[in-house]
Structure 1
Amino acid sequence: MSAPGCKGEDMHDDFDSCYRAVQSKDARFDGWFVTAVLSTGIYCRPSCPVRPPLARNMEFYPTAAAAQKAGFRACKRCRPDASPGSPEWNVRGDVVARAMRLIADGTVDRCGVTGLADRLGYTTRQLERLLQAEVGANPLALARAQRSQTARVLIETTDLPFSDVAFAAGFSSIRQFNETVRTVSALTPTALRQRAHSRDAAERVGTDVLSLRLPVRAPFSYEGLFGHLAASAVPGVEEVRDGAYRRTLRLPSGSGVVALTPHPDHVQCRLIIEDFRDLSAAIARCRRLLDLDADPTAVVDALSQDPHLSAVVAKAPGQRIPRTVDEAELAVRVVLGQQVSVKAARTHAGRLVQAHGTPLATPDGGLTHVFPSTEQLTALDPNRLAMPASRRRTLTTLIAALAAGDVEVDAGADWNTARAQLGKLPGIGPWTTEVIAMRGFGDPDAFPVTDLGVRAAAKAVGLPTASDALLEHSARWRPWRAYVTQHLWTALDHAVNEWPPRPTKQETR
C-alpha cells in the first residue's frame, strides 16, 4: 500500500484503500479517516486492535465529527477521537484547511461560526457548504467533537467537578455536557473517570497540572526538533529542565506553562493553565509547535528518491519542523535573528521579554514571562535596541503591521497573501519570508534557499550551493522542501541538533 500522503483529502471515498488499511491495522492512516461499523454503531481508528468487521458492515468518514454526526459513537478500545490529526490540515493552505486549523484553536467556541467565517472572508453559508462537502460536518459539529474531546481529557486527567469540566470544555449547560459525553463515548462522565484510573494513557495529577500523551506518527526523529527549540530558547520564556522543553504560553483567556518530553511514539505533555477553557487551544498549539500531525512516511518516501538525500533521510527519518505556539512571536524572532548567531538572537529576544513581556503571577523555574504581544511591542523604543538601524526599522515596521492587521500570520492566515504582505515590508527578503512560512505558517514547501546552514549542508551531501542551481534542483522535492531544510540542518554539527543539550560551563561547575 502506498503512503498515506499519496491519498489526498478524499481518501475516505476510496473504499478499497480504506478497507486494506483496516485489514492491515495500519497506524499510519490514523487521523486520515475513521471506520464506522454499521452492525455496532461505533467508529474506530484504522489501527483498532479489534477484529475487523465484514466489508458490508463498514462505512468510512473523513473525520470523527462526521461519524458522530451520522450517529456513531467512539470505540472504547482504540479511542479514535484521540488519534493524531489529519496531516491535510497542516500541509494545505486552502480555506478548508485554514478553517480546520482555526476550529482546532477554538475560534468557533470564542467567536461563533460567524466569527470563523468573517476571519476567512467567506459567508457562513459558503463556509458550511465547503466543510460539509469535504470533511462531512459543519463548523458546529466539528467544534462539538472538539469540545467532547476536551471534556474527555479533563474527565480523565483531573479531579475537577463535572460542572467545571462542562464549563471549561465550552458546553452551555451540564445537561448538554452529559448528553454529549454519553452520545460520543457510550459512557457517562462518571464511568469515563472510573476507567481512567486503570489506564496509562493519561496520568491523573490533580486540578493544577494536566498530564497527557500527545500521539505522534512514527517514525519520530525528535532530536533535531527538540534540539532546535532548546538551542534557540529565549530566557524567561523557554528553558530545558528535567529532560523536558518548557515554555510559557499566551492563551485566549489567560496564560500557561507547558513541559514537553519526547518519546519514540508520543510526547508527554504537562500543562498548567489559568483558565481551563484554554485547554483545546493549548493542546492544538503544542501540536503545531512540534509538527505532530505531519505525515513522516510520505516525506521519507519522497525524499529518499534523491540520491543526494537518501543517506541523510535514512539516518534520521521522521523529522519534524520546529514551529511555534505564536506566529507573531515567531515572525518577530526571525527578524531578530537576521544575520546574527542563534545566541545573539536569544539575547535580543530576551531583552524584549524583560522590557515588554507579561510577568507570570508565579514564576516557574526559569520561566518568568510570557512573550510580549504585538500590541505590547508597539511601545518599544527602537533606540534601545542594540542592532543596526536598518534592522531596527524592519522590526518596528513588522510590529506595526502585525498590530494593525496589515500582515496576518496566525493559524488561519492565507499563506500566499501573508507572503505578499511580508514581502512589502522593508528589510524582509526571501530568507525571512520563507523561514516564517516554514516555522510559522507550517508550509511544507517553504524553502529558505539562501540559508547559510542549508548551503553548507548542501555542499556536504553533493548538492549545488549556488541559490539558482539549488532552487532548480529542489523542484523534485516538492511539496516537502521544508522537510529537506530540516534534514539538511540536522546534518550539521551544531547545537540545534543536540538533545538533550550539552550542559553549559556554569551548569557543570
Structure 2
Amino acid sequence: MTTIDQVTWLDVPVQGPFDLTASARFLEGFAPAARADAAASPGELRLAFPVAPSWRPVGVLVKQAGPNGPVRMAVHGDPSDVDNAAAAARRILSLDVDGTGFAAVGARDPVVGDLQARYPGLRPVAFHSPYEAACFAIIGHRIRMNQAATIKRNLARELGSSVDVHGVVLPSFPPPAVLRAVPMVPMVSEVKSDRLKAIAEAAEAGRLDAAELRSIPVAEALTRLRTLPGIGEFSSELVLLRGAAHPDGFPDAETRLHEEMRRVYPVATKAELSEVADGWRPFRTWVSVLFRVRREELVGN
C-alpha cells in the first residue's frame, strides 16, 4: 500500500450547476470504474490514479456540502504532483468546463430540458485519464463490459498501487512503465497484452495527453487516436470523450445512444442524429451522457 503523508487542500472553482453526490452515484453505476467504496458518504468522492506526467500514484478526496455549493479537494501525493492531480480531478468531474451555458441547451431543446430536470447537477464523470480509457478499450474488445471492468480492477490490485485516500484504501491502475515492464500483461490475451504495452508506450511519449487531445479539432484527435494499435472508431471516441473528457463531441459509433435518441426524436439516419446533436453545442458530450444514463435506468444497457 502507498501511504502518502503529504495532503494539500484546495478550493475548486465551479461555474454552473454541479452535484457531487449525483456524480458519485453515476460513478458507482459506471461499469468501467464502478466502485462502492469511492463515496464514503453523500457529498464525498475518493479517487486514486497514476497522474501524468510523473505517473506516480495520487489520491484525491472531493467534498461538497450540498448541490451547487462550494467544492474542496484534498490531494494526497508528492508536492510536485499536486497541480497535475488537481487538474486531473477537475477534468474527471467535468469541473474544468464552464457549465453556466448548459441550461440554455435545455431551453432550446425541450427533450434536453427534461433530461436536465431529471438529473440536476449531473456532469459527465470521466476515466482518470485517456491512458486508462484506452487500456479499458483494449481490455474490453470482444468481451462484455462488466468482464472488462473486472479485469481492469484486478489489474489495479495486482500491478498497481493501493493508495490511502483520507482513510479509505483504493487501488490505483498500474502506470505505463509497469505495463511495459511485465513480460505479459496478466488476465488478457497475448494480442491484448501487446496492445496494452503499445498504449503504455504512447502514454509515456505524451500521445495521450488530455489537454493536447482537447486542444485540436475533434476529427483530428480521433484520427490521431486511431493510429494506436487496437483503437478503432468506437474506442477513439471513448478515449477522447470519456478519457480526455472533451465536452463537445457527438459519438458517431455509440449505437445505444442513437437508439435512445430515435425513441424521442423523429429522426432515422446518422446524419439526422448528428444534426439534432448540433443543437446541443458546446455540450454535445454532456447531453449524450444524460441520454445514456436514462437508458441505463430504463433498459439496463
TM-score norm. by structure 2 comes to 0.76
Distance in 2 between residues matched to 1:443 and 1:453, nearest whole Å: 20
Percent identity between the two aligned chains: 23
Distance in 2 between residues matched to 1:355 and 1:315, nearest whole Å: 39
**CA 1:363 to 1:340, structure 2 compared with 1: closer, same or farther past 3 Å?**
farther
Partners of 1:332 and 1:398 within 8 A in 2: yes
**CA 1:463 to 1:208, structure 2 compared with 1: closer, same or farther past 3 Å?**
farther
* Corresponding residue for residue 357 of structure 1: 160
Partner secondary structure for residue 132 of structure 2: helix
What 5-or-longer segments of structure 2 have no aligned partner?
none
CA deviation vs aligned residue, 1:319-372 (integer Å, no higher than 9, x gap): 4221244332232223334465443232111222233213548995342x4321
CA deviation vs aligned residue, 1:434-492 (integer Å, no higher than 9, x gap): 22111233322222233244134313423536434312332333332111212212322
Alignment partner of 1:276 out of 74, 79, 83: 79
* Corresponding residue for residue 117 of structure 1: none
**TM superposition outliers: structure 1 runs of 4+ over 6 Å:** 235-238
Partner secondary structure for residue 302 of structure 1: helix
Distance in 1 between residues matched to 2:11 and 2:94, nearest whole Å: 15
* Corresponding residue for residue 240 of structure 1: 39
- Tell whether 2:174 aligns with 1:375: no
- Tell whether 2:281 aligns with 1:478: yes
Q: CA RMSD in A?
A: 3.6
Distance in 2 between residues matched to 1:356 and 1:277, nearest whole Å: 23
- Tell whether 2:216 aligns with 1:412: no
Distance in 1 between residues matched to 2:87 and 2:165, nearest whole Å: 24
Distance in 1 between residues matched to 2:26 and 2:180, nearest whole Å: 28
Partners of 1:359 and 1:370 within 8 A in 2: yes
Alignment partner of 1:425 out of 228, 249, 260: 228
Partners of 1:288 and 1:323 within 8 A in 2: yes
Equivalent positions of 1:266-345 (< 5 A) are 266-273=70-77, 275-338=78-141, 340-345=143-148
* Corresponding residue for residue 28 of structure 2: 230
Distance in 1 between residues matched to 2:169 and 2:128, nearest whole Å: 19
What 5-or-longer segments of structure 1 have no aligned partner?
1-206, 498-509
Distance in 2 between residues matched to 1:268 and 1:373, nearest whole Å: 26
**Quick one: which amino acid aligns to residue 306 of structure 1?**
D
**Quick one: which amino acid aligns to residue 203 of structure 2?**
L
Distance in 2 between residues matched to 1:362 and 1:385, nearest whole Å: 27
**Quick one: which amino acid aligns to residue 266 of structure 1?**
P
* Corresponding residue for residue 193 of structure 1: none
| Equivalent pairs, count | 286
* Corresponding residue for residue 157 of structure 1: none
TM-aligned CA deviation for residue 300 of structure 1 = 2.0
- Tell whether 2:59 aligns with 1:250: no
**CA 1:466 to 1:366, structure 2 compared with 1: closer, same or farther past 3 Å?**
farther
**CA 1:474 to 1:361, structure 2 compared with 1: closer, same or farther past 3 Å?**
closer
* Corresponding residue for residue 168 of structure 1: none
Q: Which has the higher contact order (CA 8 A, sep 6+)?
A: 2
* Corresponding residue for residue 220 of structure 1: 18
Partners of 1:237 and 1:248 within 8 A in 2: no
